[in-house]
Structure 1
Amino acid sequence: MKKETVSSYLNQYNLSTMFPDRVQQAMKLETYTGGNRLFSQGEKSDTLYLLVEGKLKVSRLSPEGKRLILAFKSPFDFVGDIEYIRKCTLINTVEAVTTTTVIRIPYEALENDMMNNAKWLQFLLETITHKFEVKSHAMNFSLLYAVDVRVASYLLAMTPDDTTLDSTSLVDMADLIGTSYRHLNRVLKQFEEQGWILKKRGKIKITNRDSMLKQLGHNIYE
């Protein structure tokens, strides 16, 4: 199997001509296994991440101490671009859902060689504008969607390759989708009775993705 490089990924996403050689030389490939964090909310930000393979979960801790899902990200996407523009600490917590590959670009390299690049600045503007649209939509999930829809969407988003999900962290899951632990358990029991999932030995496995998606209409987190 051919080993991918920074150059091959940039070519794949039609980005090779955007970045000059000096910036490309500063880029590094990094791979994370599912469940590992790229970074946490509040940490110092000094790197832009280009998501080129896998899936990421973006969440934020509210002032009330609740961690809520904002989005799931699939290639191609940026992480750390808002912090790059605002020169602030990291706004969200980002972790890998599946084995994930990112290209890391130090902010310093971008500041030195890209600040006068009109194509890059336009691309960055379009990306950030889209993110604010997604964020606005995500903040209304708790009001617009029933808990069963949020639970089903979360399960689908967290198991893209028909993998199982650890059910020992149901309290965390409840917080992430904005419901109570008790309500979450009721919904999961209903899903079992409908034949959509199977809970066994601390794991949750989706047994009928098609029926779940048909009932949802679409996955609200993607």
Structure 2
Amino acid sequence: MKRTNVPKGVFTLQIIQDNVLCTYYLNHKELKKVFTSEEHPFQIRRYSRNEVVFEEGEDIDGFYIQVSGRTKITTSVITGKALLLRFCSAISFMGDIELVQKVPIQSHVTAVEDTDFIFIDQTYIYNELMKDIAFLQQLLAHATYKLQTCTTASRINLLASVETRFASYLCTVRNGVSFGKEIQTANSMEIASLIGTTTRHLNRIMEKLVFDKVIEKNKKEIIVIEWTKIEELSGGLRYE
């Protein structure tokens, strides 16, 4: 294994040349059908907890496949604050919109914990993989999944009350669907961002539900006591 450390702000980006580890990651069932050959000019990029992976507005240097760890995806809004979109884990594609549309990076990505990516240089993407049917099919599947979940979340956040949104959020996380796992957090500030409201407003909703003995809340988790009531409040809406 060859490890190269590249200075990057207060962090040092770790570039790892390890064919055994790379092959292990590529043997994931979702990637195995795309990358059939064992010889690829790929590298592993490892990011430490709280390290920035992508900076919104910068140029992208290649295609990233998240193969371990957990990352947080945010975007800036007109007020200058960051809006939380989702969390990502393996297997997630990043850089698809930027490389296909040839635009600057659209979202800010930060490692929540130590995270590995398979990095593919954009030259190889354009010269080789953009001609590969299997790769393009996976690219399309990931891009349309992101479009579907973002569209659904936007529709709920625009049309439903905050109480309904919060109940829908709890039901989605409970169901264990893919997007439910991507938005799961016990941090009220992050939940508020995900459902498109303020932390203060969400806290008022939660205080009411605690008072009505529908949920319990401590510093680390939200416990639902009356799922029937939460289901009723959700109106059948789900972030999925």
TM normalised by structure 1 equals 0.71
Please say if residues 59 and 71 of structure 1, whose CA atoms lie closer than 8 Å, have aligned partners that are also in contact: yes
In 2, the alpha carbon distance for the partners of 1:63 and 1:206 equals 31
Matched, 1:28 2:48: no
Please say if residues 86 and 194 of structure 2, whose CA atoms lie closer than 8 Å, have aligned partners that are also in contact: no
The alpha carbon displacement at 1:14 in A equals: 4.3
Match of 1:61 among 76, 96, 101: 76
In 2, the alpha carbon distance for the partners of 1:210 and 1:64 equals 36
Match of 1:82 among 60, 77, 97: 97
The alpha carbon displacement at 1:214 in A equals: 8.2
TM normalised by structure 2 equals 0.66
Match of 2:223 among 194, 208, 221: 208
The alpha carbon displacement at 1:50 in A equals: 1.2
The alpha carbon displacement at 1:83 in A equals: 0.8
Q: Give the number of the structure whose alpha-carbon radius of gyration is greater.
A: 2
In structure 2, give the amino acid aligned to 1:68: L
- Residue ranges of structure 2 left out of the alignment (5+ in a row): 1-19, 174-182
Alignment of 1:34-183 (within 5 A): 35-148=50-163, 150-151=165-166, 153=169, 157-159=183-185, 165=187, 170=189, 174-175=192-193, 177-183=195-201
Q: Which moved more, 1:44-53 or 1:210-219?
A: 210-219
Structure 2 residue aligned with 1:8: 24
In 2, the alpha carbon distance for the partners of 1:30 and 1:209 equals 37
Q: Secondary structure at the match of 1:59?
A: strand
- Residue ranges of structure 1 left out of the alignment (5+ in a row): 199-203
In 2, the alpha carbon distance for the partners of 1:212 and 1:36 equals 37
How many equivalent residue pairs? 203
The alpha carbon displacement at 1:10 in A equals: 1.2
Higher relative contact order (CA 8 A, sep 6+): 1
Could you tell me the percent identity over the aligned residues?
30
Please say if residues 213 and 219 of structure 1, whose CA atoms lie closer than 8 Å, have aligned partners that are also in contact: no
How big is the alpha-carbon RMSD for the aligned residues of Structure 1 and Structure 2? 3.5
Q: Secondary structure at the match of 1:53?
A: coil
